[in-house]
Structure 1
Amino acid sequence: MKYVLRRIAMFLVALLAISLIVFLMLRVLPGDIAAVMAGTNSPPERVAQLRAQMGLDKPLPQQYFEWVGGLLHGDFGMTMLTGQPVASVVASRAAITFPLIVLGMLVALLFGIPLGYLAVRTTNRAAKALFQTIAIIGGAIPALWGGLLLILLFARGLGVFEVFPAQGFPSRGWTDPSRALLSLVLPALTVGMIVGATIMRYTRSSLQTIASSGYVEMAMACGMTRRQALWHVGMRLAMPQLVSVIGLTFAEMVTGVMVIENLFALPGIGTGLVSDLGHRDLIAVQSELFMLAAFFLVIGLLVDLTHRALDPRLGEGSNE
């Protein structure tokens, strides 16, 4: 319980620091935010009206505390472009980005962990070289190139095998689940192919370290085969490190899929953030950056707690 409370306290302090950094980040930019958002040819009256509308004419401490107070009540502000609540706009985008990330992570896990395990289990030199080549090539493939390759192979109207939609997301969203899921298949395969190579390398490295530490030999001395010892003992001991890698990779994928979303014309979080920056909707960008940062911190907290649950040695004795 002390460990959990300490981690939660650190999370709250980090969240407060992030809110202050995000708030000041847009205020220290050169020029007037209201003038930037209004446009270069806007009259002074329009700039003054916009500054008063956004509360930029108030002292900075008052602006910050009003913004944080709104965050605590779930009010992330309004977009200047459409007048919609930022929270609802981000929620509609997240309904595309997070399913894409989950599908991509499932592909990566189904690809990365078994191949990493097989790369350590096999004793054949040719097979080891093949697995190493797969890990290197998979991690070196640019997301844009990998996505284009899948489009040329499997996209309707363009590919050799016309199976999946090439771009876009159904206007009805997840009310049409089959079409929505099909539109995410190629993006998820692109993400999974790249992330899976990374997970494969971490799995192989962790298992190799454990296999050379004597745990596998001890399990074999108790009657297990090498395959059983690697799977039942090696994978269990490697799991805490893999959980950390998978959790942090999942968090990074929120912004990492930005290229994929643009390539496949998916209106997700990454595409929306770029669009808001392009339209100079800086108040919306402020709340969106804070939500993304908060998401990273939440994932980090969950990874810490899961890691501690899987490996009790990290607890009271080390006081970490």
Structure 2
Amino acid sequence: MKYLARRLLLFVVALFAISVVIFLALRVLPGDIATIMAGLNSPPERVEALRAQMGLDRPLIVQYGGWIAGLVHGDFGTAMLTGQPVAALVGTRAAITFPLIILGLIIALAIGIPTGCAAVLARSPRARAVYQGAAIVGGAVPALWGGLILILLFARGSGLIPVLPASGFPQAGWADPGRALASLVLPALTVGVIVGASMMRYTRSALQSVASTGTIEMAMACGMTRTQTLTRVGLRLAMPQLVSVIGLTFAEMITGVMVIENLFALPGIGSGLVDDLGHRDLIAVQSELFMLAAFFLVIGLLVDIAHRALDPRLGD
């Protein structure tokens, strides 16, 4: 309970610090935001009215207090460009981004963990070199280039095997689950292959660390084969490290899929944030950045708690 209370306190402090950084960072950007949003040729009266509407004519401490008070009550503000509540806007985008990330992570785990185990089990130096080379090449592939290759191979209209949509998301969204899922397959494969290469390296490294402790030899002395020992005992002992990696990778993929969303024209969180930044929608951007930062911190907190539960030997 002491550990959990301390972690929750640190979480609140970090959240407060991040909110201050986001609030101040957006207000030191060059140019007058009200002038940019109203239009460079707008009359001064229009600019002043917009500045008052956005609360930019108030002291910074008052602006920050009003924003935080709204966040505490679940009011993330209203986007100036669309007039929609920011929370609803992010929710609509998250319905695309999170399924994409989950599908990509599943593909990455399906690639990374088995190949990481196979790399450790390989006895031939040549086979180990092949696995190592595959991990390096897979992790070095730029997301944009990998996505374009998959489009040329499998996209309808331009691919050698035209079976999947190349871009966009259905207007009906998840009300048409077949088309919605099909539109995420190519982006998820792009993410999954790149992240899977990293998962392979982490899995191999974690298993090698376990093997160096002599645990594998002790388990083999009990009658297990080397393969059984690594897959049953080794993976279980390496699980705390892998849980940390998987959790943090999941959080990083929120912004990591930004390029993929733009490439495949998916209206997700990453591409939406880029659009809002380009249009200088201050209200939407500051709340979106805060929600992303809060998500990163929540994932970090859950990973720490899971790590502690899986390995009770960790000290306070």
Task: State TM-score, norm by structure 2.
Answer: 0.98
Gaps in structure 2 of 5+ consecutive residues? none
What is the match of residue 44 of structure 2?
44
Contact 1:37/1:282, CA 8 A, preserved across alignment? no
Q: Distance in 1 between matches of 2:37 and 2:24?
A: 17
Letter in 2 for 1:155: A
Aligned partner of 2:169 in structure 1 is 169
Q: How big is each residue's C-alpha offset from its partner over 1:225-249, in whole Å with a ceiling of 9 and x where there is no partner?
A: 1111111111111111111111111
AA in 2 matched with 1:32: D
Deviates more, 1:219-228 or 1:288-297: 219-228
Q: Which amino acid aligns with 2:270?
A: G
Match for 1:177: what amino acid? P
SS at match of 2:62: helix
- SS at the partner of 2:75? coil
User: What amino acid does structure 1 have at the position aligned with 2:76?
Assistant: F
Q: 2:65: which partner in 1?
A: 65
Task: Give the C-alpha shift of residue 130 in structure 1.
Answer: 1.6
- Please give the alpha-carbon distance, in whole angstroms, between the structure 2 residues aligned to 1:287 and 1:172: 27
Matched, 1:179 2:174: no
Tell me if the contact between 1:251 and 1:299 (Cα under 8 Å) persists in the aligned partners. Answer: yes
The aligned counterpart of 1:198 is 198
Counterpart Cα distance in 2 of 1:148 and 1:175? 28
Q: Distance in 2 between matches of 1:310 and 1:139?
A: 28
Task: For 1:82 and 1:57, locate their aligned partners in 2 and report how far apart those are by CA, in whole Å.
Answer: 22
Q: Give CA-to-partner distance per residue, 1:28-69, whole Å, 9 cap, x none.
A: 223332223223222211110011101111121111111111
Moved more, 53-62 or 85-94: 53-62
Deviation at 1:124, TM superposition (A): 2.0
- Aligned residue number for residue 258 of structure 1: 258
Provide the rounded CA distance (Å) in 2 between the counterparts of 1:301 and 1:70.
24
Following superposition of structure 1 onto structure 2, how do residues 30-41 of structure 1 map, counting pairs within 5 Å? 30-41=30-41
1:157 aligns with 2:139: no
Distance (Å, rounded) in 1 between the aligned partners of 2:64 and 2:122 = 58
Identity among equivalent positions (%) equals 73
1:245 aligns with 2:245: yes
Find the aligned partners of 1:251 and 1:140 in 2 and give their Cα distance.
Answer: 20
Partner of 2:119: 119
In 2, the alpha carbon distance for the partners of 1:275 and 1:27 equals 18
Distance 2:281 2:27 in 1: 14
Deviation at 1:160, TM superposition (A): 0.8
| Equivalent in the alignment of 2:79 | 79
Name 2:221's counterpart in structure 1. 221
Distance in 1 between residues matched to 2:33 and 2:81, nearest whole Å: 15
Q: What do the CA deviations read for 1:60-115 (whole angstroms, capped 9, x no partner)?
A: 11111111110011111111111110110110000000000000000000000000
Q: TM-score, normalised by structure 1?
A: 0.97
Deviation of 1:126 (Å): 2.5
For 2:104 and 2:265, the matched residues in 1 are separated by 17
The one-letter code of the counterpart of 1:212 is S
Match of 1:12 in 2: 12
1:93 aligned residue? 93
Query: Is the Cα–Cα contact under 8 Å of residues 51 and 57 in structure 1 kept in the other structure?
Result: yes
Structure 1 residue 141 corresponds to structure 2 residue 141? yes
Q: Equivalent residue of 2:241, what SS?
A: helix
Count of residues in correspondence between the two structures: 316
- The runs of at least 4 aligned residues of structure 1 exceeding 4 Å deviation read none
Once residues 43 and 301 of structure 2 are traced to their aligned partners in structure 1, the CA distance between those partners, rounded to angstroms, is: 48
1:285 aligned residue: 285
Aligned residue identity for 1:111 = I
